[in-house]
Amino acid sequence: MVEALQELNPAPRLLMGPGPINADPRVLRAMSAPLLGQFDPQFREYMRQSSELYRGVFQTANRSTLVVDGTARSGIEAALVSLIEPGDRVLVPVFGRFGHLKVEIARRCGAEVRAIETEWGSIFPDEVLEKEIRKYKPRLVAVSHGDTSTTMAQPLAGLGRLCREHDSLLYVDATATLGGMDLPVDAWQLDVVSAGLQKCLGGPSGSAPLTLNERAERRIFRRRHTEQGLRASDAVDGEGAVIRSNYLDLAMVMDYWSDKALNHHTEATSMLYAARECARILLKEGLANAFARHAKASEAMTAGLQAMGLALFGDQKHKMANVTGVFVPQGVDGEKVRHALLSHFALEIGTSFGPLHGKIWRIGAMGYNARSDTVLATLGALEAVLAGEGFGIARGAAVDAAFAVFRERAG
């Protein structure tokens, strides 16, 4: 009890795992702004601005561009529960843990799920997806852009067109890539996309930006059943099946964000401030600059790890720009290394799970942490710890190699 009465004062950490990462200080400052009532005109204006900013981030003109209150998973679940009617056929390409998550959520929504799998560390060629869509004729395809569990990014440029040709909707989980890798929602014809703040957007987790186009709106508003006590006297229910979640019912959430201002849930005001600030900072930097910054940090990190004598994990042509998988060297205890990094360098890198458990570390450089100083500090610390473990390393090579990559840009 005495300890619980102490002031909360966590020791600083440099978070270089697969997310969460250190939030941009400007985002934390925005979160300490005074609370407002959610129907205060000032607050409604902040909501309107957030929609506008996220249209920029998602590269879309979608009217329904909003923020779901909850971690990234709430965005995934809101999309799937609102789109899937029991009995719908759903295709999920699984190339890591977060594919399995979508399978699990879609099954809970009553879908007939066809999950196709590829070895962790690889992605699906377009032809495979095309064949599956032709054969299975899903009403919905649900796929991750980047899967942090394997550090792979699925190419999506042709998938939207393919889904349209076969009258399927396409949902994309961009939690791990939005703001760090290009994802032009309209140009790639992605129907619904959701994300989280805690990766390339440089915020804390707890808010899920989401955008959906008119095709998806139609599917969801067909199922609109506004709750008793909130509905207008002349409200007419949609003819589709009721959405099996109240909190994550995107028909009501869209009505809350629209000029209807339906009083659905109590806004997570400070998270809205955070989400708005993340988008503002990103657009101020410029999307192209942010993508280039992530790509450069990734290039430097991989150059440094290889110079250290470590082997990278997975198909490097399809590696995410913001997370790198690297094999734990033979004879080295991966967890002991992570523990030493945390206790001596206050630095966190990620472990792994599923078939990769204990085999790779996952090292992130994203959002606010996609910088030269963080990459160089991570490589230096890892080198020192590995040397202490007796792993033979050319000392100094990792930092030199990464530094050379960053200097190229400067010069």
Question: Footprint of ligand PLP on this chain (CB under 6 A)?
Answer: 19, 71-73, 98, 144, 147-148, 173, 175-176, 196, 205
* Rounded Cα distance, 168 and 219, in Å: 11
CB of 384 to ligand PLP, least distance (A): 28
CB closer to ligand PLP out of 19 and 138: 19
- Number of Cβ atoms within 10 Å of the Cβ of 65: 24
Helix (H), strand (E) at residue 213: none
Pairing of strands 146-147, 152-153: antiparallel
State the nearest-atom distance from the C-beta of 172 to ligand PLP, in Å: 10
Place of tokens 């190419």: 155
| Smallest distance, ligand PLP to C-beta of residue 92, A | 13
Nearest distance from residue 194's CB to ligand PLP, in Å? Answer: 9
Find the shortest distance in angstroms from Cβ 192 to ligand PLP: 14
Residue 31 near residue 270, CB atoms below 8 Å: yes
Query: Least CB distance from residue 112 to ligand PLP, whole Å?
Result: 23
Whichever of 301 and 386 has its CB closer to ligand PLP, that residue is 301
Nearer to ligand PLP, 60 or 144 (CB): 144
CB of 144 to ligand PLP, least distance (A): 5
CA distance 116 to 99: 9
Shortest distance, position 329 Cβ to ligand PLP, whole Å: 25
Structure tokens at 171: 């949902």
CB of 99: closest distance to ligand PLP in angstroms? 9
State how far the Cα of 67 lies from the Cα of 277, in Å rounded to an integer: 13
Q: How far apart are CA 267 and CA 243, in angstroms?
A: 21
| Least distance (Å) between residue 411 CB and ligand PLP | 34
Tokens of 238: 């949609």
Three-state DSSP state, 182: coil
Of 96 and 304, the one with the shorter C-beta distance to ligand PLP is 96
User: Closest CB to ligand PLP among 282 and 303?
Assistant: 282
Distance (Å) of CA 390 to CA 203, 278, 348, 383: 37, 42, 21, 11
Pick the closer one to ligand PLP by CB: 179 or 196. 196
- Helix H, strand E, coil C: the string for 49-103 is HHHHHHHHHHCCCCCEEEEEECCHHHHHHHHHHHHCCCCCEEEEEECCHHHHHHH
Instruction: Produce one character per residue of 355-388: b if its CB has 16 or more CB atoms within 10 Å, e if not.
Output: ebeeebbbbbbbbbbbebebbbbbbbbbbbbbee
Tell me which residue has tokens 């990464």. 402
- Taking the C-alpha atoms of residue 408 and residue 397, their distance in angstroms, rounded to an integer, is 17
Alpha carbons 59 and 178: distance in angstroms, whole number: 11
Given a contact cutoff of 8 angstroms between Cβ atoms, the answer to whether 349 and 383 are in contact is: no
- Our CB check for ligand PLP shows the closer of 65 and 144 to be 144
Beta-carbon contacts of residue 131 (< 8 Å; ≥ 6 apart): none
Of 21, 55, 59, the closest CA to residue 297 belongs to 21
